[in-house]
Amino acid sequence: MGIYRSEIADLRKNIGENIGQKIIIKESPGKRSKPQEKSAIIENVYQSYFRVKFEDANRVGSYNYTDLFTRSVEVSMYNGETYEPLVQPQIEIKKTRVQETVENS
C-alpha cells in the first residue's frame, strides 16, 4: 500500500485550513527513546511540508506530510474540547495463502 499524491494534497489542504490551530506533535527520537509530545500552533503550509511554532519554546519546526502517513510523527488537532488524531489509522488486511491462491486462479 503506497501513499498517493491525492492523499498528501488532502492532508495539505486540511492542515492549511487550520493555520493558527493548536496541535500536539508526538515524535519518537529513536528506537529506545520514549516518544515526546510537544504543544504547537500551525504556522504555515508549503508544497511538501508544514511549519509549526512550539508553545513552550520560542522556536519553530517543520514536518513532512509523508511523516504523518508513515507514523514517524503523529499530530493531534485541538477541536475546542479534546485533541483528535489528524491522520486516522489505516486497517491493513493480511492475505492468507488461501486468499492468494483464489485471487491468482
Residues with Cβ within 8 Å of 24's Cβ and at least 6 positions away in sequence, in order, are: 37, 38, 39, 40, 75, 76, 78, 83
Give the pLDDT of residue 24.
Answer: 93
Q: Tell me the average confidence (pLDDT) per consecutive run of 10 residues in the chain, 105 residues long.
A: 76 92 86 83 94 90 88 87 74 51 57
Predicted local confidence at residue 93, as pLDDT: 44
Q: Which three cell numbers stand for residue 76?
A: 493531534
**Which pLDDT score, from 0 to 100, does residue 88 have?**
56
The pLDDT, as a whole number, for residue 92 is 46
* Domains of the chain from N-terminus onward: 5-104 (2.30.30.100)
Q: What is the pTM of this model?
A: 0.72
